[in-house]
Amino acid sequence: MTPAEMKMLFDYIDEHLSLSECDNTLRFAREFLKSNALPEEQVVAWLEAAGGYCDCEAIGNAEELLEDSMTGSIAKPRASTGEIE
């Protein structure tokens, strides 16, 4: 998933949330990922790790992380680094 695709994902969610209410799932996110043959489960896991458990939260929480990812690859969920606090 490239930063450009991430941006398209958030644009897609944003556009659809302006037409209908968030139903507390990532339905628009999943719709976009499916229709673009992107790794749905992987991206959903990333969104959830960023605090985006539904479409409006994805916009509110995960979109901020997009800026960080613009210079490199998609940010990995913290849990996968193996760090122990």
- Point out which residues bind Zn ion (CB under 5 A): 22, 54, 56
- Which is nearer to Zn ion, 9 or 54 (by Cβ)? 54
| Closest CB 53 distance from Zn ion, rounded Å | 8
- Which is nearer to Zn ion, 3 or 49 (by Cβ)? 49
| Closest CB 81 distance from Zn ion, rounded Å | 27
Neighbouring residues of 16: CB distance < 8 A, sequence distance ≥ 6: 28, 31, 55
- Which is nearer to Zn ion, 56 or 74 (by Cβ)? 56
> Please, how many CA atoms are within 13 Å of residue 56, restricted to the half-sphere of its CB?
8
Q: How far apart are CA 72 and CA 74, in angstroms?
A: 7
